[in-house]
Every structure is written in structure tokens, then in C-alpha cells.
Chains A and B, each alone.
Chain A
């Protein structure tokens, strides 16, 4: 169980792949599959996440009310330090949260009378590595833990995002505040290698316990893993015969 994504596999496959580079995708397909060549002209900011701009107030809708209530609940200084950016896009609001302040903010979001985000709908991860936007660096971390919170009282939804690097993938666990986050965080750890500190039992949940690497990281290949069964090893489909 290594924290370096598919580094082991990466090294193993890198040697076999032509040119020594790491091969992505099944059957050797790489890039967008764009057949025109025009696709390469578009440089986009992925998911509004690694992008660096922030939405200006007013955000519109209930977003301002939520933000004001949150500032009141945690204090202006904590909010300013904990939420460096806010993005409103397609009718949804995303708070980009610094991991040191995550638990303070989440606790307030759940307990404050004006916020009441009782339900943690989902915790998942996104790997923005090599996403076509600004290059992921320690200042623009590639791994994002994404929280979707629902207020059943006010019928509101917000999203929190915490970004960490692959080298230091630690995020405090919200499982104490939202018990439902238990399995979500285990899955996110399993798939992305984000380590949720303080989780009661952070083990793999979907992959076998002894699995190497974190399958949903972008550097991890699709279908490039040999299958071992009863002492026989079946090579991955893309290496069984030549498709190229």
C-alpha cells in the first residue's frame, strides 16, 4: 500500500512502453481522440479547481446568506484564512478550503442554526494531474478532496474542496462530524491515496487489501494490470495481442 499512486506500476510499465514514457489509456489511445487537430488549440482551466480565479461578491441566490452565516459562525479571521477562494459556477458554489481549517468550518456548517448542513451527501476525490490547465505544482496541488454538503432544513447545497499534493496527501477526517463520511473517505483513500487523518479505520474498501497503487489517479493505467488467478498470470488485454 504505497502513497505514490501507481508509481510501482509506472516504473514497471514505463520500461516496456515505447519511448520509455508512461502509456495512458487502453489499447494505446492517448490524448482526447481528437481527429481534427483543432482540439489542441483549446487551453482550458479544469473544473474551475486548479484554476486560480475567484468569484466576486455578491454570489447571488442563497450563496451570500450561507457565506455570511459561515463568516459569522467561525469569525472573519478564520474564514479569511480558511477559505482563500470561492467559485460560483453553473448555479453551484465551491469553497476552496485550507486543510488546517477544514474541521472548524465543517463543524460550523453542520451545527450553526443559520447553516444546518446536516447531511454530507458525498466525499470523493479528483486528480487534476496533467489536466490541460495550469500545471499542478506544490502551489497548485493536484489531488482534491471534494465534499458535497446538503442542508435539509434550508434545502441548500454547497461544495467544499481541499487540495493536497501527492507527496503530502493528508486531510483531516470529517468522519467524527459526519459519520457517513466513513466509507466515502475510505473509498477516496483507496482510489486516490488521500490520507484522512483521524479516520477510525482508514483501510481499502473496494480494492483488495494488498493492492498496489491508487487506481483512480490519472497516472494509473486503465486495464494495464495483469490478473493473477490460481498461480497463473493473465496479461492485461492491451498486451495480449497487437491492436496497433
Chain B
């Protein structure tokens, strides 16, 4: 038990003074014993994730390090693979919405819109004007929510925890609106082939307008909290550099490409849902780094608010589902004493008045509608870039194949290009600036 201190300690040199013996504790004697850098390198392989709080979900990174410099970054994915593409092949076209909405779970309405637009293109139909406007409205609300999470997790991963709490707080206000409109905070299944599940509820427009009044101040707070902050700037500037050539070669789209200076936004270059009639800017930056991506996302929140305002102004009363009863969902939802459910009028009609209506309801709900054979590729601009739906029909009531070109999946490939040669701490900034959503990456 007793330790003898009179032996010479290799890590503590000692000398005598009038006050007694003084020990100077120093580091290891590795260099003295083995000579500096005996094997010519100091390679260390570090595994990050898939359960690391800074890897944005179940993302696994295998990093080769020399000192603190990353020499090689490998990305391992697949931990959240749920076979959604395969599942859609076993359900009707309408049920497909409920699957695809669960892929990129921060942008569910974009998944629904992309899928439904693809199905509508196969069918050769177009949703009514009001439905299109509401789609734009909810998508832009969703874009704000998604960007707020991107900024919040960015803050958290950089150590700016107030950025995280603020971001999630503002996002909650958007989710409250989406809950009011669609009934659910996430995974809405609100946009359906042919239109929408239901019209805007009473009071929703007013609540969105209130939100539009509050939000600019919240964005300004974000700028006050983070944009001017020297630590925030130094963590982000010149980190995760990827220029336009690199982006295009790696297929990277969305805020990352725009932060490299190319104003490529599908809402402008290949407009859908009447985006060409809305007045908004495509924010860009020329820094091609994490800082530029942060600024682009902040600016896009403002642009989305402009679009929402215009969408609210042009809302005209009208149907939100195509009139073709062979496609339109037969049951109408309404608010009863016991909550939201099938409208009692509709239930009365099919159960008591019309046998044909009952058969029609049964056929359409269980079997679904047929979609003519063919294939389409439909890209839309999700908060993370080009979200493409490659949908193939063989003419039956179920999709033959639904492939999703998820922007997170493609953008994540840029991790190595962004982080190799940099510091390990900057890997976190680079991945956070990509803003991957693993639900979309792994599908």
C-alpha cells in the first residue's frame, strides 16, 4: 500500500531546495525513450456514430486522423433503411403518400408534393387552383420549419446551444400551424394525388398571418445571436469548402450549391405549382463554405415568408380535390363532437341512401384507382435540394416502382470532399452544413 517516493520517478525530475525536495511533473518520456515519430506517421482511425449526438442522426463516419487533421473520411449509411420504396409497391397510389411523407421527416410535405405531382403527371391531371396554392403555402411553411431545424442542430453541434433552443422554439410555432391545417405535426399525408386531404380549417389564414408578423423579429434575433458572433463566424468560415464544379460533379444541389454561387433553384428554373407567378429571390453566397450555407438558409426563411404572404393573398374559394370521382377520395373529413373524422353526411349517404355510393366508396378505398402505364421523373426543390420522384406504373392500382432521388442521400457524398485535409472539429461543421436527414438518406 505504501508508495515509496524516494525512488526516481521517470516522469518527475526532482531537485533539493531549502524548503525540501521539489518534483517537477512533466509529460511522458516517449520522445526520450523511442525518439520522435518512430513509425513515420501518427495515423488514428476514429469511428464516429452512428449514435453520436453531433452526426445529425444515425450517420456513421470513419475518420483517418493524423494529429487533428482528417486524412480520410468515409461515410457509412443504411442504419435507418426502412424499405419505403419497396413498401409503396404493395399499397394503392393514395396510400403511397403516407409512406413517402416519412422519408425526409423534416420536409414531409415536400415528399408528399413531389410524389403527388408525379402521380398526377402519370394520370395527366392537375389539382385545382386552390389546392395548388395551399400546397405552395404549406410547403413554404415546411421549408421554414426545416431550415430552422437545420440552424438549430447547426448551433447545437457547434456548441451554440441557445441557437438550438431558439431554433426548435420557432419551429414549434410552424408545427403548430401545420398541425392546425393538416391535423398532424409531422408525417401529414395531407397532400394527396389529385389535391389535398381537406381544405384549410377556419382561422388558419389568420393564424398564418399572425405568424408572419412575429417571425421576422425571430429571424432578426437569430442574426443577433449567431451571425455577428465571432466564435460562430470562425467556426464556419472557410470550413467545408466545395465550389460549383465540385457540387455539380458530386450532384450536390440546394443551399450548398447556391452558397457556392450558382442560383440553381428548381422553383425558378423548372417551375411547378405556379411558382413562376410568385415574386421571390433566390439567395446565393459566394463563399462556398459552411458560413455561406448558413447565410443562404437564413435568407431563404425570409423568401419563404414572402411566398406565404402572396399565397395567402391569392387564396380563392374553390375545391381542393379534382372533380373526377374515379380519383378523388370519396370520404370527406369533418369536425364532429368527438373530433375529426369521416363526415356524418357522407356516412349517412353511403350507409342509408345509395348502394352505388357505398360500392364506389369501397372500391376506391380498398382497391384504389388505376394509373396508366408509363414512367415519369418529377423534381422539386426541397429544403435540401433536388427531390426527384421516379415513378413507374404498369397500369395497375399500385405503383410498379417509386424511386426517390433524395437530396440528403446525394449531398452526403460530399462529406469526404468537404472534410479531408481539414481539422476533425471542422468535420462536424461540414456535416452540419450539409444538413442531411437520415430518414431521407436511408429511406
- Are B374 and A90 in contact (CB-based, < 8 A)? yes
Interface size classification for chain A: 35 or more
- In the complex, how many angstroms separate the beta carbon of B249 from the nearest chain A beta carbon? 5
Q: How far is the CA of A71 from the CA of B89 in the complex (A)?
A: 37
State which residues 188-223 of B face A: CB under 8 Å: none
Assess whether A22 is interfacial by the CB under 8 Å rule.
no
0 or 1 for each of B60-91: is its CB under 8 Å from A? (1 = yes) = 00000000000000000110010101110110
Interface size classification for chain B: 35 or more
Assess whether A14 is interfacial by the CB under 8 Å rule.
no
- Are B250 and A179 in contact (CB-based, < 8 A)? yes
Assess whether A68 is interfacial by the CB under 8 Å rule.
no
Q: How far is the CA of A34 from the CA of B373 in the complex (A)?
A: 16
- Are A180 and B249 in contact (CB-based, < 8 A)? yes
Stretch binding the partner chain, chosen from A56-64, A78-86, A96-104, A124-132: A124-132
> Given A25-B90, A146-B390, are A178 and B396 also a contact pair (CB < 8 Å)?
no
0 or 1 for each of A104-138: is its CB under 8 Å from B? (1 = yes) = 00000000000000111110111110011100000
Assess whether B270 is interfacial by the CB under 8 Å rule.
yes
Assess whether B377 is interfacial by the CB under 8 Å rule.
yes
Q: How far is the CA of A80 from the CA of B249 in the complex (A)?
A: 29
0 or 1 for each of A33-47: is its CB under 8 Å from B? (1 = yes) = 111100100101111
Q: How far is the CA of A182 from the CA of B413 in the complex (A)?
A: 8
Assess whether B42 is interfacial by the CB under 8 Å rule.
no
Assess whether B293 is interfacial by the CB under 8 Å rule.
no
Residues from chain B with a CB closer than 8 A to the CB of A77 are none
Assess whether B110 is interfacial by the CB under 8 Å rule.
no
* Residues of chain A having any CB pair with chain B under 8 Å: 25-26, 29, 32-36, 39, 42, 44-49, 89-90, 92, 94, 118-122, 124-128, 131-133, 146, 148, 152, 155, 157, 159, 178-180, 182-184, 187, 191, 204-208, 215-216, 220, 222
Q: Would you list 26 pairs from A and B whose C-beta atoms are within 8 A, ordered by A residue? A: A26-B90, A32-B397, A34-B367, A35-B362, A35-B366, A46-B394, A48-B374, A90-B122, A90-B374, A90-B376, A121-B386, A121-B388, A122-B405, A124-B405, A126-B400, A127-B401, A131-B394, A180-B252, A180-B410, A183-B410, A183-B413, A187-B409, A204-B78, A205-B77, A206-B78, A206-B443
* For the complex of A and B, 4 pairs with smallest distance between CB atoms: A180-B251, A44-B395, A122-B405, A46-B394
* Residues of chain B having any CB pair with chain A under 8 Å: 77-78, 81, 83, 85-87, 89-90, 92, 121-122, 124, 248-253, 262, 264, 269-270, 362-363, 366-368, 370, 372-377, 379, 386, 388, 390, 392-398, 400-401, 403, 405, 409-410, 412-413, 442-443
